[in-house]
Amino acid sequence: MITCDDFQKVDIRVGRIIDALDFPEARKSAYRLRIDFGSEIGVKTSSDQITRHYSAEELLSRQVIAVVNFPPKKIGPFVSEVLALGLPDAEGKVVLLTLTHDVPLGGKMF
């Protein structure tokens, strides 16, 4: 079990996808995303295996929820700085967590 203090160490914020490109170097089908988290955090990169349910075009301008305080992870030639959050569907393919309304960029989950 974790404590509330442990959970509060995870910095979960909302950002807006400003760029989504295919990532052919990835072992599994993925996109390279650039996500804007507002003035406090700025633009960060993420590699996400979400090609089953989303085209690159429909990801643009979508708000996503992401962990922003994990250490960067090198994935082939790309550095993923944040982890966009999602859940597996019945086939194990990732479905992004979404918001019902737009909120200010960089908004922190609490």
Q: Which two tokens stand for residue 74?
A: 């090198």
| 42 within a domain of the structure (yes/no) | yes
Using 50, 70 and 90 to split pLDDT, how confident is the model at 110?
A: confident
Instruction: Quickly list H helices, 1-110.
Output: 4-8, 56-59
> Does a structural domain hold residue 31?
yes
- The CA-atom distances, in angstroms, between 97 and each of 20, 67, 91 are 17, 12, 17
Assign residue 33 the CATH number of its domain: 2.40.50.140
Question: How do residues 60-88 score in pLDDT, each as one tens digit?
Answer: 999 999 999 999 999 999 999 999 999 99
How far is 37 from 22, CA to CA, in rounded Å?
Answer: 21
Residue 86 β-bridge partners:
96
Please tell me the predicted confidence (pLDDT) of residue 86: 97
Taking alpha carbons only, the member of 56, 53, 12 closest to residue 34 is 56
| Number of domains composing the chain | 1
pTM: 0.95
**Domain span holding position 88:** 10-96
